[in-house]
Structure 1
Amino acid sequence: MRDADEGAVSEKPQIKKLLEAGERGFGTVLSLKFPYNEQAIPTPGTDAWKTAIERVKKVLPTIMDRIDILVIGNEPFLETRKDQRDRRLNLFYEKIAEYIIAYRAEHSARKTKLYMGALNHLDWDNGQTGATKRWMTFVKKTKDIEGVDIHPHVTSLAGAQKYLDYILPRMRPEQKFLATEFSLVLLWKEHQTDPVSARFAEKYQDAQGKQVWEVLREATEQPFTQQKWDDFLSMTPWFANNKTYLQDQLEQFRKTERLAVATYGVSQDEAMATNFTARKNPWMLNSLYCPYTVRQSKDGLPGRNRVWIDQFRALQKTN
């Protein structure tokens, strides 16, 4: 949302791309991200609150009734200071939502559906709090809210199930959920200091004696051939044992009959591949396209994660 401070919102590259996609017939989802990790979350009536509302005022005329889904908040419980992840967080987002609901009604912008989002770490012992309960209470009682977004980055499907067990009973029967991010990245992270698999080290001598994160760092510094990346994934047991993850996760979501939209990270980006260490989340293992760890092919196409890409294509189904 800070991006709204400078220049026309309609000229922002990410907004232009999204609106162009909508004009071409794609479904579109936009999340409004309010980062307050380094400052207090605004209290209604203060100057900081007025700044937040002014940003919203700049965004809504450009996107309302032109995108399909607007998510109010990106990851509120991660993008707010730890000491303020309580009723102060709830109050801020509730008031923002009420402003957006009133704007939509005033402009008869019914095409754009509203969701609250997104909840994180509901599978952690400390992830379900009074503030998350109030979040879901607001979702349930507010008739203009279609449901809630979740970001289940987990170690197993059982972890993702805990998200569903939490949100579904706390919504109205007709409400649905989004999963605009999901992955097993926290499982991958648990194995970063494992020795690289013996099979891979036997085939690629330069990997002998190294840990997983060191091999991943090398891939970011000198991208692998497609074959070497394929071998690394298929010869790594904890990855290969989850080779049907995308299919399994979508089946879990769809079985609820309450899934509205699930979206998945398509491509690696520079942030994933820069200064990689054993402590950094290995997001690069999730991506379908791998321009930062796999050499470009002779036909000019980017490298890819061939474990996921066929599943991703097969799962392109709308209800």
Structure 2
Amino acid sequence: MLRRLSIIALTAVLAASTTQAATAEGGKPVSHDRPLSRAYGALGANFNQNLDALDYRELRESGTKWVRGFFPMPATDQGDPAGHFAISTITETAGRGYDTILSLKFPYDRASFPEPGSAGMAAELARLDKVLPAVLNKVDILTIGNEPFIESLPAERDQRLNAFYETVARHVIDFRREHCGASCGTALYMGALNRLDLADRRTPAAERWMTFVRETPEIEGVDIHPHVPAQADAQAFLDYILPKMRADQTFLVTEFSLVWLWKQHLQDPIPAEFAQRYGFAADTLVWQVIKAAIDSPFSERQWTDFLTGSPWFMSQSGFLRDQMRLYRGTGRLAVATYGFKQDDLMVTNFGPAKDPWLLNSVFAPYTVQPRANGLSGRGFWLADFKALQKRAGAR
């Protein structure tokens, strides 16, 4: 069933009562009155660009009801976006009764933003006109942007970034009003802000981003991506966004991790007990063990022994629980989604300088042998991920 919720009279610390509507599996999503805001503290599965790796058996095993991925807008030029695997998968998933988030990715890290009113902007808006019919009233949440302050030229992370994304957002809002109506079942968020734990990322452009979010009634809130070197650093994201939002707005956390902490330890020596048990030289480094697991996947027991034997990792073993407690404790969390599955980009050319995203994953198909039933090998985080499904906000 596809579930839709509305939150009425949202306060800063408590999500209020909800209503729910459903359809039979495989049916069309149910339209409903436009939600004021959605704050139910769910934890879902993030696939980023790898929605084609989605396995419904793994979703059921983990208990998740929310699925998130992104669609790169240039892919629109390659054919009908409804046929692209990202959009076809997310809409099929919605049709199966899962709640869904799709982020629209605008990669301008190698080219300048088109100016409003220019031919380049007209071309970008024409792409939107092809994408939006395929997703509106099908996905629950559409996020305008993926990581704008990364997917842009450093010199243009100023008013030019704001002008581009505000033009795109207004176009999406107008299109939704004209073609989906007041009862459209897709909520709009702006996303996503990165590294707000660093003072130099809290720029005038970031301030303007939050002003636009606050002053645009059709925007439900903002997305954040707290990839941080320490758990405590995530608080800076909340301290920044919450005072700048309307009281009825909520936030998404569609990516979060300790990847920058993990990276600090890639050149640490591995635990002596692990080295002795599994035949590694005493001076083997962490990244070399990970590379060995990529080259010849470990048993689930060996991968678990590697991680649980590493003090730098186990000191953060409560990361998922702690972060969800932080986000849910605001009463303003709509949905958080966590890295669900290792992908090929994570393991390509793995070495001591590689960002170790693969240590975040709930399922570990590239470092752990597949199970006899054909499901991916399980990563460290599955038990907590599954347990946290039971403590989501009221639905």
TM-score bracket, shorter-length normalisation = over 0.9
Q: Which moved more, 1:217-226 or 1:115-124?
A: 217-226
Q: 2:315 aligns with which of 221, 232, 241?
A: 241
Higher relative contact order (CA closer than 8 Å, sequence separation 6+): 2
Give CA-to-partner distance per residue, 1:189-227, whole Å, 9 cap, x none. 111111112222232232421111111111111111111
SS of structure 2 residue aligned to 1:28: strand
Give CA-to-partner distance per residue, 1:271-304, whole Å, 9 cap, x none. 1111101111101101111110011223333211
Consecutive unaligned residues in structure 2, runs of 5 or more: 1-72
Q: 2:278 aligns with which of 201, 204, 221?
A: 204
The 2-side partners of 1:291 and 1:243 are apart by 20
**How many residues of Structure 1 are paired with residues of Structure 2 in the alignment?**
318
SS of structure 1 residue aligned to 2:363: coil
- What's 1:134 paired with? 208
- What's 1:169 paired with? 243
The 2-side partners of 1:283 and 1:93 are apart by 28
- What's 1:278 paired with? 352
CA contact (8 A) 1:139 1:171 kept: yes
Give CA-to-partner distance per residue, 1:159-184, whole Å, 9 cap, x none. 11100000000001110000001111
Q: 1:41 aligns with which of 113, 122, 125?
A: 113
CA contact (8 A) 1:200 1:207 kept: no
Report whether the alignment pairs 1:309 with 2:382. yes
Report whether the alignment pairs 1:112 with 2:186. yes
Letter in 2 for 1:308: W
- Residue identity over aligned pairs, in percent, reads 49
- What's 1:25 paired with? 97
SS of structure 1 residue aligned to 2:251: strand
CA contact (8 A) 1:115 1:146 kept: yes
Correspondence 1:248-267 to 2 at 5 A = 248-267=322-341
Report whether the alignment pairs 1:82 with 2:82. no
CA contact (8 A) 1:220 1:274 kept: no
The 1-side partners of 2:83 and 2:193 are apart by 30
Q: 1:224 aligns with which of 278, 283, 298?
A: 298
SS of structure 1 residue aligned to 2:326: helix
- What's 1:122 paired with? 196
Give CA-to-partner distance per residue, 1:233-263, whole Å, 9 cap, x none. 1000011111111111101000000000111
CA contact (8 A) 1:207 1:215 kept: no
- What's 1:193 paired with? 267
Structure (1/2) with the larger helix percentage: 1
Report whether the alignment pairs 1:291 with 2:365. yes
- What's 1:95 paired with? 167
Letter in 2 for 1:276: F
Q: Which moved more, 1:15-24 or 1:254-263?
A: 15-24
Q: Provide the aligned C-alpha RMSD in A.
A: 1.1
Report whether the alignment pairs 1:51 with 2:111. no
The 2-side partners of 1:249 and 1:45 are apart by 42
SS of structure 2 residue aligned to 1:297: coil
SS of structure 1 residue aligned to 2:99: coil
Deviation at 1:318, TM superposition (A): 4.0
SS of structure 1 residue aligned to 2:267: coil
CA contact (8 A) 1:233 1:240 kept: yes
TM-score of the aligned structures, taking structure 2 as reference length = 0.79
The 2-side partners of 1:90 and 1:277 are apart by 36
SS of structure 1 residue aligned to 2:123: helix
